[in-house]
Chains A and B, each alone.
Chain A
Amino acid sequence: MRQKELKTVVTFHTVTEAIAMETACMKEEIPGRIIPVPREIKAGCGLSWAMPADWVGNISQWMEKKDLSWESVGEYFI
């Protein structure tokens, strides 16, 4: 298994919200990718967005500016 790293993880209520996030991030070249929701956050299925924890901006503010919807933002060793 890969070595765990500190990541910022954004979770979503729906798949649509997750793909909207990915689409917006790709457009602005914000690093990250879709991963399964880590069990540290929530058991079950679903998509989340994982990105480097040391990304320069504030992801919550950025998502708000982009009118994106999400469930939670946190940092996790995953």
Chain B
Amino acid sequence: MIYLDNAATSLQKPEEVGKAVADAILHMGNPGRGIHGASLDAARMIYDTRSLISRLFHAKSPSQVAFTANSTESLNLAVEGIFRPGDHVITTMMEHNSVLRPLYRMEEKGVELTILPADKQGCINYEDFERAFKSNTRAVVCTHASNLTGNVNDLEKIGRICKKLGILFLLDASQTAGVFDIDMEETGIDVVCFTGHKGLLGPQGTGGICVREGLDIQPLVVGGSGVQSYLRTQPEQMPERLEAGTLNCHGLAGLHAALLYIGQTGMEYIRKREQYLMRRFYEGVKDIPGVTVYGDFSLESLDKRAPVVALNIGDYDSGEVADELAVSYEIYARAGAHCAPLMHQALGTEKQGAVRFSMSHFNTEEEIDQAVKAVRELSRH
């Protein structure tokens, strides 16, 4: 089997990730709910994971990192916890439904929404941010990289614009965390929402939110915190402010091991290896008659792209192509809408969808070449 669906979840994890999860299930107690060894060991591991995440995103301190189940939960938390009726929010057509749906729901409650267009290559125009600005604009909420095209947004540019306009910058880092540099402090990002099971190579059910110090997000869920138990409300201090109930300690132990692996392997090595594999695949398929590749593959963007190549073969249903790849070639790619309805609208692929190939640094050149060969063969049918 050749797995090329890493934008959905990274299937191959470092060996130590599985071991850490198994060890945690057998030995770790409830973090922060006791002072015995099993509980403290869990709390120490969680603290160390917060520290690694805060260093990864250049957050002010480990306390500014709250854990959630995934990016979707983090984005819901941020959107519901920050915006109020009358606020205006700017987002883009590049977004995943994890950004769009929480914003649409807030729109029903009186939040005003502007969705910036994307061109046929799936790129946004940065000047549109300033054009969309209004006196009640509260924030930009956008993705770092499109999960469909792999196009990466320029965080420095967006951060500068947000700073100039005096508005918040909320980032969806689902497709880039663990692979691309994200510097909250330097770039002026107020909130980073991330998931643990994609580029961070951790287990599903792990994710989190990094919040700039001083920005209060109203909690979406309240309940047990292990501290300040006689308060009728959730503690005001981070991270307990945004963490009610028992954390997914076992999963976070896996994320902890994955973060150590990324630190040892080097994010730059991982990124360059994935981009190399992506380019190899792109070069192999781009000139095949009948194949249409989506996204910005211009020379200047090649070393900035996320490792994703979306394509279609003729007017075949993307689901049919992905099914044929899986059944006849054992190549696992993802078809359909990828929860990115507006991106498909911009690309003109709403009906057909697209077949998305997304690489991991664990993939080999041989696997990429076999995938190219399969696309070539299918395009002849």
List the B side residues contacting A16 at CB < 8 Å: 47, 50, 62-63, 238-240
Is there an interface contact between B47 and A46, defined as CB atoms closer than 8 Å? no
| Contact residues on B (Cβ < 8 Å of other chain), bracket | 20 to 34
- Cα(A17)–Cα(B227), bound, Å: 11
List the B side residues contacting A41 at CB < 8 Å: none
- Cα(A43)–Cα(B238), bound, Å: 21
Return A76 CB to nearest CB of chain B, in Å.
16
With A20-B62, A36-B35, A45-B227 as given contacts, are A14 and B239 in contact (CB-CB < 8 Å)?
yes
Is there an interface contact between B229 and A14, defined as CB atoms closer than 8 Å? no
Write out, one digit per residue, whether chain B residues 25-58 have a CB within 8 A of any chain A CB (1) or not (0).
Answer: 0000001110100001001101100100000000
- Select from chain B the residue with minimum beta-carbon distance to A26: B44
Is there an interface contact between B63 and A69, defined as CB atoms closer than 8 Å? yes
Give the total number of A-B pairs whose CB atoms are below 8 A apart. 64
Return A16 CB to nearest CB of chain B, in Å.
5
- Cα(A45)–Cα(B235), bound, Å: 13
Is there an interface contact between B62 and A46, defined as CB atoms closer than 8 Å? no
**A59 located at the interface, meaning its Cβ lies under 8 Å from any Cβ of chain B in the complex:** no
Write out, one digit per residue, whether chain A residues 53-78 have a CB within 8 A of any chain B CB (1) or not (0).
Answer: 00000000000000101000000000
With A44-B229, A46-B227 as given contacts, are A15 and B43 in contact (CB-CB < 8 Å)?
yes
With A14-B239, A16-B239, A16-B240 as given contacts, are A46 and B229 in contact (CB-CB < 8 Å)?
yes
List the B side residues contacting A43 at CB < 8 Å: 230
Is there an interface contact between A23 and B239, defined as CB atoms closer than 8 Å? no
With A14-B235, A44-B228 as given contacts, are A34 and B35 in contact (CB-CB < 8 Å)?
yes
**B263 located at the interface, meaning its Cβ lies under 8 Å from any Cβ of chain A in the complex:** no
Return A18 CB to nearest CB of chain B, in Å.
8
Residues of A within 8 A of B (CB): 12-20, 22-23, 34-36, 43-47, 67, 69
